[in-house]
Amino acid sequence: MRKWTKEQEDYLRKISPGKLDQQIANLINEKFGTSYTKAAVNTKRQKLGIKLSDWRTVWTDEVIQFMIENYEGKDNIELAALLNERFKLNTNGKRVCNVKSNLIRRKGINLRTGINRGCYRKGMAPANKGKKWDEFMSKEGQENSRKTCFKKGNIPPCHREVGSERINVDGYHEIKVEEPSKWKLKHRVIYEQHYGEIPKGIKIIFADGDKNNLDISNLIAVSSAEELHLNKDGLRFSDKELTETGINITKIKLKLGEKRKWKSLW
pLDDT over 90 at 59, yes or no: no
Closest by CA to 187, choosing from 200, 203, 201, is 203
State residue 191's pLDDT score: 96
Buried residues in 219-234 as b, exposed as e (16+ CB within 10 A): bbebeeebbebbeeee
pLDDT in tens, 206-260: 999 999 999 999 999 999 999 999 999 999 999 999 999 999 999 999 988 877 7
pLDDT over 70 at 154, yes or no: yes
Determine which of 51-55, 58-62, 159-163 has the lowest per-residue pLDDT on average: 51-55
State residue 87's pLDDT score: 84
Q: What whole-number percentage of the chain has pLDDT above 70?
A: 92
pLDDT in tens, 157-206: 888 899 999 999 899 999 999 988 899 999 999 999 999 999 999 999 99
Q: What whole-number percentage of the chain has pLDDT above 90?
A: 33
Label residue 54 by pLDDT band (50, 70, 90). Answer: low
State residue 186's pLDDT score: 96
How far is Cα 28 from Cα 19, in angstroms, rounded to an integer?
12
Determine which of 23-37, 73-87, 149-163 has the lowest per-residue pLDDT on average: 149-163
Query: What DSSP letter does each residue of the chain carry, written as one string?
Result: -PPPPHHHHHHHHHH-TT--HHHHHHHHHHHH-----HHHHHHHHHHTTPPPPPHHHHS-HHHHHHHHHH-TT--HHHHHHHHHHHH-----HHHHHHHHHHHHHHH---------TTS--TT---TTTT--HHHHS-HHHHHHHHHHS--TT---TT---TT-EEE-TTS-EEEEEETTTEEEEHHHHHHHHHH-SPPTTEEEEETTS-TT---GGGEEEEEHHHHHHHHHTT---SSHHHHHHHHHHHHHHHHHHHHHHHHHH-
How far is Cα 136 from Cα 250, in angstroms, rounded to an integer?
67
pLDDT over 60 at 266, yes or no: no
Fold of 165-265: Homing Intron 3 (I-Ppo) Encoded Endonuclease; Chain A (3.90.75)
